[in-house]
C-alpha cells in the first residue's frame, strides 16, 4: 500500500463457512459447537498462556509507519478497525480480549470507543476507581483463534484467552510486553503497547459504524502509546465496518449466545442465525407442542438485550440464515395478525439516546401445530441428480 511499509489484507472473515471451520464445527451447527467451546473455556483452569522468548527480529516503529486508513467520507480521521485490545482486570487479573475502534491522533495517542456494556469499559472503570491507568496491548493482525475469542461473549470471570486456547487446542504462545506487564500473543502481526489514561476523555468521531450510519462525535477514553512494533514480514489487517467481514463473525457468536440461552430452557432448539444484520434473530425449532414458538420468542428477547430486537421462529426444514424464506413462511402459513408479538417500551441497544431501538417484535413463522401435512414443501423428483454439463 502506498505510503506505508506494510501490505494490507482485508475480507478474511467474511464467510460463514470459514468462521465455522475456525470453530471446528464440522457437521454440527456453529451455534452448538461454539456453545460447547465457551463452556469448556469457562471450566478451564486458566492455563491459556505458554511463555516464550521475545523474538529478536521484531521491528520497532511508530504509529505513523502503519497504514493509516480513513474509511468513510465523514470519518474524523484514520482508524484502526481490527483493533483487538488485551488487558487485565486491575482487581482480579482476569485477561480480556475485545474489539474497539481506535482513532489515530498522533504517534503517542489513540482515542478509543469503549461501549458502556463492554468488559474493557468495566476494567477501565475499575482502574479509574483506583486513580490508575489501565495497561493494554492493541493487536493488529491476530491469529484466527485470538480474533474469534475477541468476538465472544463469555461468562463473567472467564477469559477470552482461555477460549482462544480452547479453539487452538493448545496454550497461546506469548512473550512479555516491553513497556506493559502483559503477555503478547507471539502470532500477532502488529502490536501497540500503552495505557488508558484515568479520568481523561477527548473528542472521538464521527465514524461510519456497523449499522451503516455515522456515530457522532463524543468524548471517549484516551490511549497513550508507549511502544509499536511488528513482525518483519507483517501484514496489516483492515476491516471495513459494516462489511460482511465485520458482520459475519459477530452474527455467528451473537447467534450462539442466544442458542445457548434457549437450549438450556426449552426443547427442540436446532439452530439460530442473526443474518443479515445484528438486530434480527431467527431461531429454527422442532415444534413439540402448541404455543412452542411463542415461548421461544419470549425467551429469545431476554437472551441478548442489545441485539434481539426482531425475533423470528421457523420450522426445522427452514434455513434460519435465509430471512427472505422466513418472511415467506410467515405470510404463507397462517394469519399474520395472530402470529406477531409486540412488546412496547423495552430498552435495547446501549447506544440509543433517542430510544430508536426500544421495543421488541416477535414473529411466529412456523406451521400451525398439528397441520404439518398441509404445509409440505413441494419438490421436483430427480432435480438433485441433474448435471448442467450434460446439456451444455
Contacts of 110 (CB under 8 A, 6+ apart): 63, 80, 102, 103, 104, 138, 192, 194, 222, 223, 225
Residue-wise pLDDT tens digits, 186-215: 999 999 999 999 999 999 999 988 777 788
Mean pLDDT for all residues in the chain: 91
Beta bridge partners of 311: 281, 362
Question: Is residue 378 pLDDT above 90, yes or no?
Answer: no
Q: What is residue 287's predicted lDDT score, i.e. its pLDDT?
A: 95
Confidence of residue 390 (pLDDT cuts 50, 70, 90): confident
Provide the pLDDT for residue 351: 65
Domains and CATH numbers, the chain: 8-237 (2.30.110.10), 265-368 (3.40.1670.10)
* Predicted local confidence at residue 304, as pLDDT: 79
Q: What is the pLDDT of residues 164-179, one digit of tens each?
A: 999 999 999 999 999 9
Region 70-79 average pLDDT: 94
pLDDT tops 70 at residue 50: yes
pLDDT at 248 over 60: yes
The torsion angles phi and psi of 16, rounded to 5 degrees, stand at -60, -35
Instruction: Count CB atoms within 10 A of the CB of residue 105.
Output: 19
Tell me: pLDDT of 288 over 90: yes
The predicted model gives 11-29 an average pLDDT of 90
Query: What single string gives the DSSP state of each residue in 314-355?
Result: E-TTS-TT-HHHHHHHHHHSS-STTSEEEE-S---SSS-TT-
Q: Does 294 have pLDDT greater than 80?
A: yes
Angstrom distances, CA of residue 99 to CA of 149, 153, 260, 339, 344: 10, 12, 22, 38, 31
Q: What's residue 350's pLDDT?
A: 67
Decide if pLDDT at 377 tops 70: yes
Return the closest-CA partner of residue 184 out of 195, 173, 200. 173
Q: Residues 6 or more apart from 255 whose CB is under 8 A from it?
A: 30, 31, 272, 273, 274, 281
Q: What is the pLDDT of residue 389?
A: 85
pTM (predicted TM-score): 0.88
- Given a cut of 70, is residue 47 above it in pLDDT? no
Give tens-digit pLDDT for 100-109. Answer: 999 999 999 9
Q: Which pairs with CB-CB distance under 8 Å and at least 24 residues apart come from 97-103?
A: 97/146, 97/149, 97/150, 97/159, 97/160, 97/161, 97/164, 98/150, 98/160, 99/150, 99/151, 101/207, 101/209, 101/241, 102/138, 102/223, 103/76, 103/77, 103/78, 103/79, 103/204, 103/205, 103/207
Q: 111-163, pLDDT tens digit by residue?
A: 999 987 788 999 999 999 999 999 999 999 999 999 999 998 877 777 899 99
pLDDT of residue 1: 56
What is the per-residue pLDDT across 359-376, written as a single tens digit (0 to 9) for each?
788 999 999 988 887 788
What are the tens digits of pLDDT across the range 306-325?
Answer: 778 899 999 999 999 999 99
From CA 227, how far away is CA 96, in angstroms rounded?
Answer: 20
| pLDDT exceeds cutoff 80 at 278 | no
Amino acid at each position: 500500500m502506498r505510503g506505508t511499509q506494510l501490505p494490507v489484507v482485508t475480507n478474511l472473515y467474511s464467510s460463514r463457512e470459514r468462521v465455522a471451520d475456525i470453530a471446528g464445527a464440522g457437521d454440527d451447527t456453529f451455534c452448538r459447537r461454539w456453545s460447547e467451546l465457551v463452556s469448556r473455556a469457562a471450566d478451564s483452569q486458566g492455563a491459556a498462556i505458554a511463555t516464550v522468548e521475545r523474538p529478536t527480529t521484531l521491528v520497532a516503529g511508530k504509529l505513523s509507519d502503519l497504514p493509516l486508513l480513513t474509511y468513510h467520507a465523514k470519518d474524523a480521521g484514520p482508524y484502526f478497525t481490527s483493533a483487538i485490545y488485551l488487558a487485565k482486570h486491575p482487581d482480579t487479573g482476569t485477561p480480556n480480549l475485545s474489539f474497539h475502534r481506535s482513532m489515530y491522533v498522533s504517534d503517542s495517542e489513540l482515542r478509543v470507543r469503549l461501549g458502556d456494556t463492554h468488559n474493557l469499559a468495566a476494567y477501565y472503570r475499575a482502574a479509574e476507581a483506583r486513580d490508575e491507568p489501565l495497561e493494554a496491548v492493541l493487536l493488529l493482525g491476530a491469529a484466527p483463534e485470538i480474533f474469534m475469542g475477541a468476538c465472544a461473549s463469555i461468562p463473567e470471570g472467564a477469559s477470552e484467552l482461555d477460549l482462544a486456547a480452547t479453539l487452538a487446542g493448545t496454550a497461546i504462545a506469548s512473550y512479555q510486553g516491553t513497556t506493559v506487564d502483559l503477555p503478547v500473543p507471539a502470532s500477532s502481526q502488529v502490536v501497540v503497547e500503552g495505557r488508558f489514561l484515568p479520568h481523561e476523555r477527548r473528542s472521538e468521531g464521527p465514524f461510519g459504524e456497523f449499522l451503516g450510519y455515522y456515530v457522532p462525535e463524543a468524548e471517549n477514553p484516551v490511549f497513550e502509546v508507549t511502544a509499536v512494533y511488528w513482525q518483519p514480514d507483517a501484514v496489516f489487517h483492515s476491516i471495513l465496518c459494516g462489511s460482511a467481514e465485520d458482520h459475519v463473525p459477530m452474527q455467528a457468536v451473537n447467534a450462539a449466545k442466544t442458542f445457548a440461552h434457549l437450549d438450556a430452557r426449552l426443547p427442540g432448539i436446532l439452530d439460530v442465525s442473526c443474518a443479515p444484520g445484528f438486530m434480527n434473530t431467527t431461531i429454527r425449532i422442532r415444534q413439540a407442542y402448541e404455543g412452542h414458538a411463542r415461548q421461544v420468542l419470549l425467551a429469545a428477547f431476554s437472551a441478548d438485550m442489545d441485539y434481539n430486537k426482531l425475533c423470528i421462529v421457523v420450522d426445522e426444514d427452514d434455513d434460519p440464515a435465509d430471512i427472505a424464506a422466513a418472511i415467506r413462511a410467515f405470510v404463507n402459513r397462517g394469519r399474520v395478525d395472530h402470529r406477531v408479538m409486540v412488546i412496547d417500551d423495552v430498552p435495547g441497544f446501549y447506544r440509543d439516546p433517542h430510544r430508536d431501538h426500544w421495543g421488541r417484535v416477535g414473529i411466529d413463522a412456523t406451521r400451525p401445530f398439528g397441520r404439518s401435512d398441509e404445509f409440505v414443501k413441494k419438490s421436483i423428483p430427480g432435480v438433485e441428480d441433474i448435471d448442467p454439463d450434460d446439456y451444455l
